[in-house]
């Protein structure tokens, strides 16, 4: 019975807690203090991010989904047959479901995500819906030096990087990241990437300051995680969420602001916080279509197609190395 039930396998290359501690100590030793955004995505943080994507102010996910819905035919025609999908930061897999429906030629799906929990729930659901495709998960930090699992087939590849997650890198880092993938892929492969567009500051402001305070909880959760995994004693409730659009840099910057002066100890290391001092937790860069295409060209990619939603809030780009 049930021979066709959820078949997938996961390779666990998750960062170890020592690696996380090293990055935390490193980031908090910088001025201004900072923490890498990938630390947001523990089990709780991944759930909070899912909740963010459903907030009325957070237009990004809905806009990208609307684009995906409208481009089924042109996308199916552009993408090679057969193809292996490789998705970076696959998260809950909600958008992947749409992609797999639209791309019957995708025989294999490789999901790379920092959260093992998110991978398990995404792959178990997807592999039950799509019985005749192969599913592989890799729990890893795809931003670190990273090579694809040897077990994947020799099909042409479609690299999928949705949600405007590239925006977490500053433009030189983003260019380097795209360059690395251009070099690792061949000319029959392709990239499908979602990029949030520059727009009116108030729309951006609300997207990162939702009325229910989910983004604030998501931001603070990183301290709860560090307390738990690194044996730190951050007074989590004495840090406020602050997100602002820095138009001169075309980015949202997200901070945790200390309410008062205090010291925090992390695995025997002590950090001093001034009253009002901020920890930078995330940048989210926004591009115009031309700005992104220029960056991509400089990184060795040829833009072949770009689509936007009716409100011009978000863009989806198809490129070849
Ligand atoms: C997952 C990086 C695309 O920058 O919009 C959402 C993360 N941070 N709300 C983004 C995020 C605050 C998100 N990315």
pLDDT tens-digit series, residues 51-61: 999 999 999 99
Q: What is the predicted pLDDT for the residue at 6?
A: 55
Mean pLDDT of 81-95: 90
Tell whether pTM > 0.90: yes
Measure 208 CA to ligand 1 centroid, in angstroms: 8
CA 183, CA 175: separation in Å to the nearest integer? Answer: 12
**Strand-strand pairing, 83-88 and 106-113:** parallel
Residue 197 has pLDDT above 80, yes or no: yes
Percent of the chain with pLDDT over 90: 84
Query: Measured from the CB, is residue 84 less than 6 Å from ligand 1?
Result: no
Query: Measured from the CB, is residue 271 less than 6 Å from ligand 1?
Result: no
Measure 122 CA to ligand 1 centroid, in angstroms: 19
Query: Measured from the CB, is residue 165 less than 6 Å from ligand 1?
Result: yes
Residue 119 has pLDDT above 50, yes or no: yes
The mean pLDDT of the chain is 93
Instruction: Dump pLDDT digits (tens) for 162-178.
Output: 999 999 999 999 999 99
Place of tokens 């699992």: 149
Measure 165 CA to ligand 1 centroid, in angstroms: 7
Q: What is the predicted pLDDT for the residue at 3?
A: 45
Burial label, 199 (beta-carbon count in 10 A; 0-12, 13-18, 19+): middle
Mean pLDDT of 196-203: 98
Query: Measured from the CB, is residue 255 less than 6 Å from ligand 1?
Result: no
Place of tokens 């797999």: 100
Query: Cα angle at 63 between 83 and 40, to 5 degrees?
Result: 80
Could you tell me the strand order of the sheet in which 314-320 lies?
Answer: 9-12, 134-139, 106-113, 83-88, 157-161, 190-196, 314-320, 302-308
Q: What is the predicted pLDDT for the residue at 91?
A: 79
Contact 78, 54 (CB under 8 A): no
Query: Measured from the CB, is residue 168 less than 6 Å from ligand 1?
Result: yes
Residue 151 has pLDDT above 70, yes or no: no
Measure 200 CA to ligand 1 centroid, in angstroms: 17
User: How many Å from the N-terminal Cα to the C-terminal Cα in the chain?
Assistant: 45
Residue 115 has pLDDT above 90, yes or no: no
Phi, psi of 103 (to 5 degrees): -120, 80
């Amino acid at each position: 019975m049930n021979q066709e039930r959820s078949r997938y396998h996961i390779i666990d290359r998750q960062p170890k807690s020592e690696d996380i501690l090293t990055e935390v100590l490193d980031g908090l030793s910088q001025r201004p203090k900072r923490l890498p955004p990938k630390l947001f995505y523990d089990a709780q943080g991944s759930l909070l991010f899912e909740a963010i994507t459903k907030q009325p102010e957070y237009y990004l996910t809905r806009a990208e989904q609307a684009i995906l819905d409208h481009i089924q035919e042109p996308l199916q025609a552009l993408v090679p047959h057969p193809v292996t999908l490789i998705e970076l930061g696959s998260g809950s897999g909600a958008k992947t479901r749409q992609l797999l429906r639209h791309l019957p030629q995708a025989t294999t799906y490789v999901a790379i995500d920092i959260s093992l929990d998110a991978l398990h729930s995404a792959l178990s659901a997807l592999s039950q819906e799509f019985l005749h495709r192969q599913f592989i998960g890799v729990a890893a930090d795809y931003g670190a030096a990273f090579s694809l699992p040897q077990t994947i087939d020799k099909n042409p590849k479609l690299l999928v990087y949705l949600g405007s997650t590239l925006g977490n890198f500053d433009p030189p880092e983003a260019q380097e990241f795209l360059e690395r993938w251009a070099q690792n892929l061949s000319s029959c492969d392709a990239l499908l990437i979602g990029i949030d567009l520059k727009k009116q500051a108030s729309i951006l402001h609300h997207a990162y300051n939702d009325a229910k305070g989910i983004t604030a909880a998501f931001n603070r959760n990183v301290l709860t995680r560090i307390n738990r995994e690194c044996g730190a004693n951050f007074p989590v409730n004495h840090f406020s969420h602050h997100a602002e659009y820095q138009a001169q840099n075309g980015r949202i910057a997200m901070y945790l602001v200390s309410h008062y002066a205090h010291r925090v100890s992390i695995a025997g290391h002590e950090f001093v916080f001034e009253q009002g001092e901020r920890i930078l937790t995330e940048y989210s860069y926004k591009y115009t279509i031309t700005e992104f295409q220029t960056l991509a060209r400089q990184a060795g990619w040829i833009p072949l197609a770009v689509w936007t939603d009716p409100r011009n809030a978000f863009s989806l780009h198809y490129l070849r190395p």
